[in-house]
Amino acid sequence: MPTTTPTREILAAKRLDNVRYAIRDLAGLADDLTKQGHKILPLTVGDPITFDFATPPHMIEAVYKAMRDGKNGYCASPGVKEALDAIRGEAERRGITTVRDVFVTSGVSETVDVCLAALLNPGENLLTPCPDYPLYSAILAKLGIELNTYYLDEDNGWQPDLEDIKRKITPKTRGIVLINPNNPTGALCSRQMLEQLADIAREHNLVIFADEIYDKLILDDHQHIPLASVAPDVPIVTFGGLSKNYLAPGWRVGWGAVSGDAAAVAPYIEGIHRLLRARLCANHPEQYAIKPALEGPQDHIAAACKKLRARRDLTVKWANATPRVSLVPPLGAFYAFPRLDIPESDEVFVTELCRQKHVLAVHGSGFGQKPGTKHCRVVFLPNEETLTKAYGAISEFMTARYA
């Protein structure tokens, strides 16, 4: 007879202790309230399709045609040639003159994962913004890489704090992450800022990861300037995809474009492709939407920006009129990161807001923030009626709780 031994827990790896994804961590509370019959007003997930935005029909038709034409098996690991050519062409139109390689991934999340894994050795570090999109800290935790964060300056329109970046660079620092337009703040970097950041990268031989997934969702008369266009010699990986600009987040189509000095980036590119080959390929038929997306009608972008501009303005108006709230107006994407003057943590704030008013926002501490400050992130994708109701509920909550 087999010997009976006590059952022991199978523990997860210790390096995952710091993996948190604040945007989804509140979902359990919202689900419980929904089951109790409450309607939740969600201001949390940046999925335009959940609201009154739709994937452009010509992109859907391109994927449908690819499926009908039998493009349902594996494709080349870097991606479909016509998609890669379209990405190169878009980069050139945007002023990026030294593209050395492009590749397609399963969303920008996989681009980030592959690019960080191909660069970082144990004991090295990567400068990431604070606040930032929590994907970066999650991937670094998975790789066993300690966080090395630099601050975004709220008093300077959430621009990167260059002096803080310089202070944080060590002999083990390999690169810098720049999210532009930024998630969660909606900030947009100036040309001068990009040039100064490139100078730092040159001096310290750093790779810059330019996350520009929202580069067409610019809300005012400002211009988005691709970082690689002002620094053709610096090793830069520019991230893009169909999720945000082209309103197809569920397709999971992203890409990376590596630029810089050809000899300098060659071994790194080979490292990226080793990992791409190991996972076979990204979604195949959906890649046939990349060329029509980048080269076809762009009408949906102007329509989306018009909606987002009105909803951003409503958000700013609410923040300006609400005691204990201040806000740097977002210039791009569809996020706002209001500062809260409250006597408790922002995590308690969003939790109690959801319980009492059934409005779901994300605590700023879930994205990182300067010590002593408190924020929340709101997604202003919902229509004006929904936003007005949600912001009214937040104001009522704050008046009652902090009077």
Q: Of 252, 280, 295, which one is at a domain's C-terminal end?
A: 295
Q: Are strands 254-259 and 236-241 parallel, antiparallel or unpaired?
A: antiparallel
User: Which among 128, 120, 111 is positioned nearest to 165, based on CA atoms?
Assistant: 128
In a domain, 3, yes or no: no
Same domain, 70 and 82: yes
User: Which among 387, 391, 344, 383 is positioned nearest to 363, based on CA atoms?
Assistant: 344
In a domain, 44, yes or no: yes
Rg (CA), the chain: 22
Please say whether the beta carbons of 133 and 154 come within 8 A: no
In a domain, 9, yes or no: no
| 403 residues of the chain, pLDDT tens digit each | 566 677 788 888 887 776 766 666 677 777 888 888 888 899 998 999 999 999 999 999 999 999 999 999 999 999 999 999 999 999 999 999 999 999 999 999 999 999 999 999 999 999 999 999 999 999 999 999 999 999 999 999 999 999 999 999 999 999 999 999 999 999 999 999 999 999 999 999 999 999 999 999 999 999 999 999 999 999 999 999 999 999 999 999 999 999 999 999 999 999 999 999 999 999 999 999 999 999 999 999 999 999 999 999 999 999 999 999 999 999 999 999 999 999 999 999 999 999 999 999 999 999 999 999 999 999 999 999 999 999 999 999 999 999 8
In a domain, 6, yes or no: no
Same domain, 69 and 152: yes
Same domain, 79 and 186: yes
Same domain, 212 and 98: yes
Q: Of 237, 266, 295, which one is at a domain's C-terminal end?
A: 295
Same domain, 40 and 172: no
- CA 242, distance to chain mean position in Å, is 13
Which residues constitute the domain of residue 281?
58-295
CATH of the domain at 146: 3.40.640.10
In a domain, 189, yes or no: yes
Question: Which pTM does this prediction carry?
Answer: 0.94
Same domain, 46 and 185: no
Task: Indicate the number of domains in the chain.
Answer: 2
Same domain, 241 and 103: yes
3-class secondary structure, 2 = coil
Same domain, 198 and 139: yes
- The single residue listed with the structure tokens 């605590």 is 363
In a domain, 319, yes or no: yes
Same domain, 365 and 240: no
CATH of the domain at 44: 3.90.1150.10
Rounded alpha-carbon distances, angstroms, from residue 191 to 93, 162, 185, 195, 245: 18, 14, 18, 6, 21
- Give the per-residue pLDDT at 349: 96
- Give the per-residue pLDDT at 28: 76
User: Which among 324, 395, 360, 393 is positioned nearest to 41, based on CA atoms?
Assistant: 360
Same domain, 307 and 237: no
Same domain, 243 and 121: yes
Q: Please tell me the number of Cα atoms within 13 Å of 313 on its side-chain side.
A: 8
In a domain, 8, yes or no: no
Same domain, 266 and 339: no
Please say whether the beta carbons of 152 and 186 come within 8 A: no
Separation of alpha carbons 369 and 39, rounded Å = 30
In a domain, 1, yes or no: no
Q: Of 295, 327, 358, which one is at a domain's C-terminal end?
A: 295
